[in-house]
Structure 1
Amino acid sequence: MKDLYISEVRKELTKYSNCSNDIITENDIVPLPEPIQKYFRYCGYLGKEKMNNAEIEWEDVFYKNSPNKKWMSLKCYQFNSVPEPTRIAYMKSRIMGIFPFEGRDKYQNGHGNMLIKFLKLLKVVDAKGKEMDESALVTVLAEALVVPTYAFQHYIKWTAIDSNTAKAVIRYNESEVSGLFYFDDLGEFIRFETDDRYYSERGTEYKKVKWSAVAGNYIEKNRIRFPSYLKAIWHTDEGDFEYFKGNIANIKFNIK
């Protein structure tokens, strides 16, 4: 599974190996809604190279697949590419500290796929199709400001709501999804909400359920601020179900 992840990342790196890295300027952010502009300034992105891709280094990551389950500790590796909306994540853990459990979650080439294997051989989930395409694209959108040059791409359209809120619509291949970005008065992105993500209790039936991603604990590295803590929450009829939480230790842009 890790080899699969590495091979998919390498394909993206090869595809866009000749991309130039222009500088982010005021002219780039002027067309964006006010809170997005403020975010770029607050985080220190003006004058920095535009990001064609990113390697996100996670630590202290936890996941659970149902509200009544215990949290499972994960090792998590993530790569994003910008020219086409692309997100590839590899996760591994051990059930009861013994049995290997691996997952690869991606949006690539216009399609989403969640692949999970137990004991390295037994395929327990291989989710794909319209619901996965849209759900995986929503995840790209939710994390777009972590790799902020996503905001400049033709496949994302922005609408100003107020001084602390902006709406984004992302359209790629045959999928279109949207969500709201919320910011505090400093300019920090603090929450993303959407009604365009599909929820499945058993992996067989899907329904759209309100979903949110919460960001916080901003840190500064290499003169750039970014949220170091993220969590994901389903807002079901039975109540809120927080199923993912983790810390971003570092972000490396323009990997070769």
Structure 2
Amino acid sequence: MSWVMIVLIVLVIIVIYMAMPGGRLWKQYLMDVRSSLTELNRKRSMQSIFTENHVAELPALLRQHISNGGYMGKPLMDNMLIHFYNTRFCMSAGKKPIRIKFMQVNFVNRPDRHAFLTARIMGIPLQAKDSVLDGFGSMTGVLAKQFRLFCSTGAEMDQGQLITALADAVYMPALFLQKYVSWKVVDECTVEGKISWKGITAKGRFTFDNKGNIIRFDTNDRYMDDNGKGSSLVPWYVAYSDYKEQNGYFQPGSVSVNWVLPDGDNTYFESDHIEVQYSINEAEVLNRKLP
């Protein structure tokens, strides 16, 4: 066999490998989700429903958001699988956004959150895993399913992932009822939430429109990485818009995630097609195709 043929065969194998879904990071992601599901199943009991008694101690604005969303009388979700489609992601300030596929699984009994991102740069697959598992946050990125680009852990990541889990509760309001979350009314359109887990605490403010729908979440408790030179607390917010009915619930159809920088807001994540599924089991996650 000639060296030219050998090179061609190797190139074909590489192309096929790059085109195939999965990879080591995806397998680790599934292991993390399985761990959270195992803990949930260990404590899962008969599913209850949203009632007036459940929400009675929440601030009025949160009660209105739950009522508007059509959750009253429906099951208290214990987790959610959420897909973001038509998603644009900016890897750093000033860079051109790229198209990505993004999914995540969030939990209620403990504020676990597991997100997975896939994209292609010049045809080469880029993957990232963004998780908090029982209070321990991490963010890992790989190129070509093999080469690690970054891996961030530590107290700053724990805090950032925890506050993100609170922001995500716009779509999973059963988390609002948990003992590890407390509330303070700021004014007629703002409520501050404090989330605490495993010695880590973070706070953020939900802003509501005049109909009682959440339109924004702001926090000063999230760290921004400075291109590997360290990190610092930077104001961060999520904007929710385009409320619409989907699967029997009235929820935001569009979301953008932003840093507040000295020279203006930096929007690094946007999606206007969002699908949510509640109280999933292990098979529903493990049997799904990679997004």
Task: Tell me which interval the TM-score lies in, with the shorter structure as reference length.
Answer: over 0.9
Is contact 2:102–2:117 with CA below 8 Å preserved after alignment?
yes
Structure 2 CA distance for partners of 1:134 and 1:31, relative to 1, 3 Å:
same
Matched, 1:40 2:87: no
Q: Which residue of 2 aligns with 1:12?
A: 36
CA deviation after TM superposition for structure 1 residue 204, in Å = 3.2
Give a deviation string over 1:99-158, Cα, whole Å, max 9, x none: 110000011111110000011111111000011011111111111121110000011001
2:140 to 103, 115, 133: 115
- Residue 61 of structure 1: CA displacement? 1.1
- CA–CA distance in 2 between the matches of 1:139 and 1:192? 10
Q: Which amino acid aligns with 1:9?
A: V
CA distance in 2, matches of 1:159, 1:228: 27
Q: Which amino acid aligns with 2:64?
A: K
AA aligned to 2:261 is: T
Q: Give the share of equivalent positions with the same residue, in percent.
A: 31
Question: How many aligned positions are there?
Answer: 255
Match of 1:244 in 2: 269
Question: Do the aligned partners of 1:168 and 1:178 also contact (CA within 8 Å) in 2?
Answer: yes
Contact 2:225 2:232 (8 Å CA) reproduced: yes
How much does 1:163 deviate? 2.6
Offset at residue 92 of structure 1 (A):
0.6
Contact 1:93 1:100 in 2 (8 A): yes
Does residue 1:106 correspond to 2:124, yes or no?
no
Q: Tell me if the contact between 1:233 and 1:243 (Cα under 8 Å) persists in the aligned partners.
A: yes
Deviations 1:9-47 (A, max 9, x none): 122222222333101101111111111011011111110
Q: Which has the higher helix share?
A: 2
CA distance in 2, matches of 1:68, 1:145: 29
| Local SS of the residue matching 1:16 | helix
Q: Work out the CA distance in 2 between the residues paired with 1:145 and 1:41.
A: 13
**1:135 paired residue number:** 160
Give the aligned residue type for 1:56.
Answer: I
Decide which of 115, 127, 136 is 1:89's aligned counterpart.
115
Between the aligned partners of 2:188 and 2:273, the Cα distance in structure 1 is 27
Question: Runs of 5+ in structure 1 lacking a partner?
Answer: none
Aligned to 1:214: 239
Structure 2: tracts of 5 or more residues without a match:
1-24, 282-291
Alignment of 1:164-175 (within 5 A): 164-175=189-200
Q: CA deviation at 1:65?
A: 1.9
Q: Distance in 2 between matches of 1:19 and 1:73?
A: 40
Distance, in Å, in 1 between the alignment partners of 2:47 and 2:141 is 35
Greater fraction strand: 1
Match of 2:93 in 1: 67
The code of the aligned residue for 1:232 comes to V
Out of 223, 227, 232, which is 2:248 matched to?
223
Task: Choose 1 or 2 for highest CA Rg.
Answer: 2
> Are the equivalent residues in 2 in contact too, given 1:25–1:46 (CA < 8 A)?
yes
Q: State how far apart, in whole Å, the 2-side matches of 1:101 and 1:190 are.
A: 31
- Distance in 1 between residues matched to 2:228 and 2:60, nearest whole Å: 39
Does the Cα contact within 8 Å between 1:127 and 1:203 map onto a contact in 2? no
Give how far 1:248 is off: 4.3
For the 8 Å contact 2:36–2:133, the answer to whether it is kept is: no
